[in-house]
């Protein structure tokens, strides 16, 4: 991963959520090996608190958590930390469970254990989306400023065109 430009803030962390501390540690090691910052939570309540403070680029959560199910976490994140991507990991998923998770806001669903390259690609994709989201307001402000300057320029030229040219009285040309 490239170092951030001097005027950019460092990228937000990836938040991992799993009630199994061994699985949480393994997943954290894998994500960190890809060069990403990681935070860990052992339940939905703790994850929600960390997400509200750290504004992670991505939350990777086990589907079955000790205190709440992942649907509760998805709903809370959507309401309290909007725009957060959530990837759900599960031992097994039926098509209807996958559809329900995606309807509730999961950006991706993967079976456990996830393939390392697929998981790291999902993390990188979420971080790229976050960078684009951060850059968009600056680019939009810049584009809006240029648009306003063009409108002012065109407005001034339009006024010049609409002004009638001054009448100049000349002597008629008379041939000799």
Homologous superfamily (CATH) of 14-134 is Response regulator (3.40.50.2300)
Q: Burial code of 19-28, b = ≥16 C-beta within 10 A, e = fewer?
A: eeeeebeebb
Q: Percent helix, strand, coil in the chain (nearest 5)?
A: 50, 15, 35
| Whole-number Å distance between alpha carbons of 51 and 57 | 9
What's the pTM? 0.72
pLDDT tens string, the chain, 176 residues long: the values are 454 444 455 778 999 999 999 999 999 999 999 989 999 999 999 999 999 999 998 999 999 999 999 999 999 999 999 989 999 999 999 999 999 999 999 999 999 999 999 999 999 988 888 888 777 666 656 666 777 777 777 766 555 555 555 555 666 666 66
């Amino acid at each position: 991963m490239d170092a951030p430009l001097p005027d950019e803030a460092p990228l937000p962390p990836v938040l991992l959520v799993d009630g199994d501390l061994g699985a949480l540690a393994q997943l954290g090691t894998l994500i960190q090996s890809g060069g990403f910052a990681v935070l860990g939570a052992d339940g939905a309540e703790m994850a929600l608190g960390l997400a509200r403070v750290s504004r992670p680029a991505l939350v990777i959560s086990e589907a079955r958590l000790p205190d709440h199910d992942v649907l509760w976490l998805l709903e809370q994140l959507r309401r309290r930390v909007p725009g957060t991507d959530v990837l759900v990991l599960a031992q097994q998923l039926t098509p209807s469970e996958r559809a329900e998770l995606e309807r509730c806001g999961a950006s991706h669903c993967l079976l456990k254990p996830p393939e390392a390259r697929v998981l790291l690609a999902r993390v990188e994709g979420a971080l790229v989306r976050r960078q684009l989201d951060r850059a968009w307001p600056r680019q939009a402000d810049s584009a809006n400023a240029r648009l306003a300057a063009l409108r002012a320029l065109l407005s001034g030229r339009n006024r010049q065109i609409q002004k009638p040219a001054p009448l100049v009285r000349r002597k008629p040309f008379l041939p000799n």
